[in-house]
Amino acid sequence: MRAITYSAFGPAADVLSLTDIETPTPQAGEVLVRLALSGVNPSDVKARAGGRPGVTKPPFPQIIPHSDGAGIIEAVGAGVDAHRVGERVWVWNGQWQRAQGTCAEYIALPAAQAVPLGAHSFETGASLGIPALTAAHCVLGGGPVENKTVLVSGGGGSVGFMAVQLAKWAGARVIATASTGPSADQAQAAGADLVLDHRSPTLADDILQATSGNLIYRAVECEFGANIDTLAAVMAPNGTIAAYGSAVNMAPTLPFGPLLFKAIKIDIALIYILPDAERKAAIEHIHRALSEGALTARVHKLFDLADAAKAHEAVEAANRYGAILVKTS
């Protein structure tokens, strides 16, 4: 099969290559998926570049990148229902702690990691995975948010866009922060009740003014370190900060007093290792929202398999408004 591989860390154009390798055979409990599309996420790009903390060399001699994708099950291993052959699926954790990810014509992986897609498009399926699971867990992992106020940081980004949609679908009032311009427009299009400039020097006051002084029940946070002081000021007692990123400040100093006297919960989400029950709940939320037309995925650009390096560069360049996908077949 054709696959994109790398064996060393470095710039995408230098280390990613189109390779012919043996098509995998599904083992017991696995399915073989013929992939139509592979999704490229910032975590895939960081992994290829060597940007994960404490990782100095690739963990396998040859790696096929990417966690997300969509396609059709072509074969199953022992113990898997043969009726799954021909099923349209979306894939999660394709390359997590494994050498072979989704940037290839085929992937063999545990059957639970190939989720029935139904009639939804492969573009939608390949755009779920990391962004949708993160959004669903961060919005709904603590229970219902109906009639609550939810703050979504980075509402124009991949996770934020889906988080806004899911929070609105679940009955919350949603305040999003974003850069002014296209990013703010995307957050608004997702259904945010209000979008505020994340660069505002008075952001905490802006949020409190927008809520008439009512505090935030749950925050979905992409820049925990940069925004923790603002969050400490606007969160309600016993509220939850569901944080999935902190790239700007990876070693923040916490205002413990304000957090303590509000008993703020900090839920740091790493979707790769989400416990089974919580992942199942997130998948159920995603599928219900999809079936009700309340969740849509955006595709920024499609790349051919041979141009996977350009797809990585597109993710690194930012200023994108939707998923970056690679056509694998």
What is the reported pLDDT for 321? 86
What confidence tier does 316 reach under pLDDT thresholds 50, 70, 90?
very high
pLDDT per residue as tens digits for the range 273-298: 999 999 999 999 999 999 999 999 99
Distance CA 308, CA 311 (A): 5
What is the reported pLDDT for 5? 98
pLDDT per residue as tens digits for the range 137-154: 999 999 999 999 999 999
Q: Are 48 and 12 in contact (CB under 8 A)?
A: yes
Mean of pLDDT values over 19-41: 98
- CB-based burial label for 106 (10 Å; 0-12, 13-18, 19+): buried
The yes-or-no verdict on residue 172 having pLDDT over 90 is: yes
What is the reported pLDDT for 268? 98
Question: What does the DSSP assignment read for 106-165?
Answer: EEEEEGGGEEE-TTS-HHHHHTSHHHHHHHHHHHHTTS--TTSEEEETTTTSHHHHHHHH
Tell which phi-psi region holds residue 213, choosing left (phi > 0), alpha (psi between -120 and 50) or beta.
Answer: left
SS3 215: coil
Structure tokens at 197: 């400039």
Q: Are 94 and 69 in contact (CB under 8 A)?
A: yes
What is the reported pLDDT for 320? 85
Ordered by where they begin, the domains of the chain are 2-128+297-327 (3.90.180.10), 136-272 (3.90.180.10)
Structure tokens at 328: 């694998």
Q: Are 73 and 31 in contact (CB under 8 A)?
A: yes
- CB-based burial label for 193 (10 Å; 0-12, 13-18, 19+): middle
Q: What percent of the chain has pLDDT over 70?
A: 100
What is the reported pLDDT for 293? 97
What confidence tier does 318 reach under pLDDT thresholds 50, 70, 90?
confident
User: Could you tell me the CA-to-CA distances from 186 to 34, 70, 90, 127 in Å, in that order?
Assistant: 32, 24, 24, 16
Structure tokens at 11: 């710039």
Q: Which residues contact 91 (CB under 8 A, 6 or more apart)?
A: 33, 35, 67, 68, 69, 70, 71, 102, 107, 109, 113, 114, 115, 125, 129
What confidence tier does 135 reach under pLDDT thresholds 50, 70, 90?
very high
Q: Are 220 and 154 in contact (CB under 8 A)?
A: no
Q: Are 65 and 93 in contact (CB under 8 A)?
A: no
pLDDT per residue as tens digits for the range 50-79: 988 888 899 999 999 999 999 999 999 999
- Confirm whether pTM is higher than 0.85: yes
User: Could you tell me the CA-to-CA distances from 115 to 74, 169, 280 in Å, in that order?
Assistant: 14, 22, 10
Q: Is the four-CA dihedral 145, 146, 149, 154 of positive or negative sign?
A: positive
Q: Which residues contact 64 (CB under 8 A, 6 or more apart)?
A: 3, 4, 5, 95, 99, 100, 101, 102, 103, 104, 107
By residue count, the chain amounts to 329
Q: Are 286 and 310 in contact (CB under 8 A)?
A: no
The yes-or-no verdict on residue 256 having pLDDT over 90 is: yes
Q: Which residues contact 202 (CB under 8 A, 6 or more apart)?
A: none
